[in-house]
Amino acid sequence: MDMKEPVNLNAALASFDEIYSPRIVARMNDYDIRIAKTEGDHVWHAHDDTDEFFLVLDGQFDIAMRDTACNETTVVLRKDDTFVVPKGTEHKPSSPGASILMFEPSGTSTTGDRHDGAIPDHVDSTVGHEL
């Protein structure tokens, strides 16, 4: 058995402070389970080939989405809320402060396959870091 040890989400969250810089807590098949701390505005971006699952562990996490006519919708997510951003959907997370869990294919970039303008300094463009 290629067994890994259990990982506690609270211990994992306590091990780093960086904002919008996901840590990989587990891998299953070719997917990552990642956690992140969020605060402020992310960047408009889209993942062309994958949905993205979010679970809010604490705080509030908002996801603005826009369609091809640039009509915007925002979902406001709080602790224990789950949401899936469909693949190809342009979206911009923002948050007054939260911790979140995400499922996505390994290799998925935090800033998508395409994004608007410059990536802010407080947003880490990454495929996730080891814990």
Half-sphere exposure of 26 (CA within 13 A, CB side): 13
CB of 9 to a copy of itself, least distance (A): 4
The single residue listed with the structure tokens 């407080």 is: 122
Point out which span in 14-22, 36-44, 96-104, 110-118 binds a copy of itself (CB under 8 A).
Answer: 96-104
17 CB burial (10 A radius; 0-12, 13-18, 19+): exposed
CB of 43 to a copy of itself, least distance (A): 19
Q: What is the footprint of a copy of itself within residues 2-31 (CB under 8 A)? A: 2-4, 6-10, 25-29, 31
Nearest to 39 by CA among 94, 118, 110, 92: 94
Closer Cβ to a copy of itself, 21 or 108, answer by number: 108
Q: What is the footprint of a copy of itself within residues 48-87 (CB under 8 A)? A: 50-53, 55, 65, 67, 73, 75, 77, 80-84, 86-87
Length of the chain (residues):
131
C-beta of residue 53 within 8 angstroms of C-beta of residue 84: yes
Closer Cβ to a copy of itself, 9 or 19, answer by number: 9
Nearest to 90 by CA among 124, 118, 107, 65: 65
Binding site for a copy of itself (CB under 8 A): 1-4, 6-10, 25-29, 31, 33, 50-53, 55, 65, 67, 73, 75, 77, 80-84, 86-87, 89, 101, 103-105
